[in-house]
Chains A and B, each alone.
Chain A
Amino acid sequence: MQLSNDPLLLKLKEALANVRAKKSDIFNGWEVSISDSRSMQSLMMSDPIQGLASYQDREVLDRAYGIEVFTQSGEPKVMGNSTCNIDPLAPLEEQIVKTLQNALQVSNRPWNLPTPEKEAPEAVLIADPEIKADIKAAHAKLLGQASAKAKRIDIVKLNSAELYTNIRSTYFETSTGLKGQQDRTDLYFEVALEKLPLPNTQEVLKMKTAISIEEASLPAFIDEIVTETLSIDQAGLPKTQSNAVILIDGKTISDLLKNLLGQFYAHNEYNKLPFLLPGQKTYSGEKAIDSDKLGLTLDPTLPVMAASSAFTGEGLTAKKGVMIENDTVMHQIVSNRMGQYLGKKTNTMAGNIVVPPGHYSKDELLKSVPECLEIISFSSLLINPSTLTWSSEIKLAKHYQKGELAGMIKGGVVSGDIKENLRNFKFSSKEKKINEVGNSFASPKGYIGPDAMLIKSGVKIAGE
């Protein structure tokens, strides 16, 4: 679908040009965007005949238009910007003028809006052709896969499942000539299982987000969750420890590293928030001799990954960059605007987190320490992007002694400090791919890296 020819978008651009001509003294520039989305949504419970039976079946059509306008006014000059979602049923010029007035309320240091680069950005594949071709059929296929698998499950109880299949096309254009369209697909599946016999007080709720049907591999995912559910046993509280050893999974590794990367952005420096500069170490204190060293690359070009994109948020070409090598920060992420504010060279590094794996299997890592808690799930892992501290109740964990399972753990609070954690850690050798589509709680995240991390420093546990 070619969104650049959308009739309302064309009218909107015309209206922007008209208003700009009338208010040329203050109207510095604009960006216009359109998104066209379709979503198929099924909320389900287990059903002996169908496997999964839907109790809520939805289809959503969403076409949205937005503008951002930039103003320059006053002496000395200040720059303002304001965004507005356009109401298609209301007069366009009135909405633009109002947005312009809102932008005049903002007084930031002026910067030059980005202009087209010499080389046009290359398209990145971030949509599953099968979903793109027929989202209804794709959704039905996924439902069929999940239902067929659910029907055959009799060793655990399946309580509920949700499936969302989405496609979204977006197009943007700026007054300086930047433009581009991207089509994305994604799907979200969650399933809640519990062990038989009933009743019990533990359930396993797991989510799978993916870009494509193949990557989602729902039957295999459900098998994985069934195995995990069967492994649950009577659980007790952990011991209180001031220097605990824990093993975390790929998702948690990616969450910790995403927050660490938050301090690589130059806007943190400008806004007086904690930030990291090239040459600085990613750990605090004295590095353990036998610890792995952290390396991390951002790559926006990987096909079928959640954080892949041809463009940055400013509309420039997103580029790959080595962010961390041997525990050392290699680059700061500097946007066009922040580059001008801080007098630094702009780079447009962005994308999926790629981390080289370690040298040992997960079992070898567990055997390498006298005692370890493998955190299966956190109740709610909250990471502070400023202090890089984290904390959560333990929803479920396995307690290992010299690599042997000694019991299940539930409850208690585990907390840590990312920089201290990176002082002494080991990654597993097995690679994991994670795609998390953005929602109202978080931005998109793509991760290819180790599927486990043994952390030997900077972790505390409050338990018995």
Chain B
Amino acid sequence: MTTIVTENCLRCRFTDCVTVCPVNCFHGDDEMLYIDPEVCIDCSACVPECPVHAIHEGEDIPDNLKDWIQINAERAPNLPVIDGKQDPLPTAEARQAELGY
């Protein structure tokens, strides 16, 4: 089982997810967040928090987003932990509307 952040987070970075993470497994660059699969306990708490449904887990990861499994695993450990709410990116609102959420 893996839980991952996918492309909908790009240009959004709402960070609501990190406030409910019990193990501080979210890491971030300037563009988006990533989950460290070595630390994540697959509790699913973050999944419904994302306003743009960027987080997918286990069997529910759509095939076209499966590349993100590796991207999360590679990038997360090398980026700083994000463990508190931050302001979304300036483009977030427009992006959310564009995604239809």
Do A and B form a real pair? no
